[in-house]
Amino acid sequence: MAWKKFSGEIIHEPILEEVERAIAREYHAGNKLKVCIGTDSQVKGSVTDFATVIVFLREQKGGFMFIQQERTSQKMSIKERMLTEVQRSIEIAYTLCDLLDLYDVGLEVHADINTNPMFKSNQALHEAMGYILSMGFVFKAKPEAFASSACANKIVQ
């Protein structure tokens, strides 16, 4: 699965190398970064589209993101789909965490799961939170999980 920039430009190098290049470029420009990783999905008929994003936030100077998309025809319950989103985000966070630690870049994993029990996605909240926290990552859920609920959401719609 290829990664791309928001502009649609395909990233041909491994994502770890591209992230390191981006961090070095931003630090050279004097920017302090934080990285937020999130995944969202959308069911359309018999297929489910997933989008995972790596969002780079420049302190008081906007940001940019890298995007990975995948489509599957596997049937999933809402809880299974929410936990699959979290799994995808954790895989990327785990891939990047040593590099981010090396450059002292903060990392958050965002889950597109509502904290309000009135919403169906809430049934996966405790498992998702436990999964993310047990891996040692900072956990954010809706409404603070903008990487998944805003950034990745725009890609899958």
Domain boundary assignment for the chain: 3-156
Helix axes 125-134, 78-102, angle to 10 degrees: 20
Q: What is the pLDDT of residue 157?
A: 74
Q: What is the pLDDT of residue 41?
A: 95
Q: What is the pLDDT of residue 1?
A: 76
CATH topology of domain 3-156: Nucleotidyltransferase; domain 5 (3.30.420)
Per-residue pLDDT of the chain (157 residues; tens, 9 = 90+): 799 999 999 999 999 999 999 999 999 999 999 999 999 999 999 999 999 999 999 998 999 999 999 999 999 999 999 999 999 999 999 999 999 999 999 999 999 988 888 888 888 888 999 999 999 999 999 989 999 999 998 898 7
Residue with tokens 């470029």: 25
Q: What is the pLDDT of residue 105?
A: 97
Q: Do the beta carbons of residue 16 and residue 99 sit within 8 Å?
A: yes
The CA distance from 128 to 69, in Å, is: 21
Q: Do the beta carbons of residue 114 and residue 153 sit within 8 Å?
A: no
Q: How many CB atoms lie within 10 A of CB 153?
A: 19
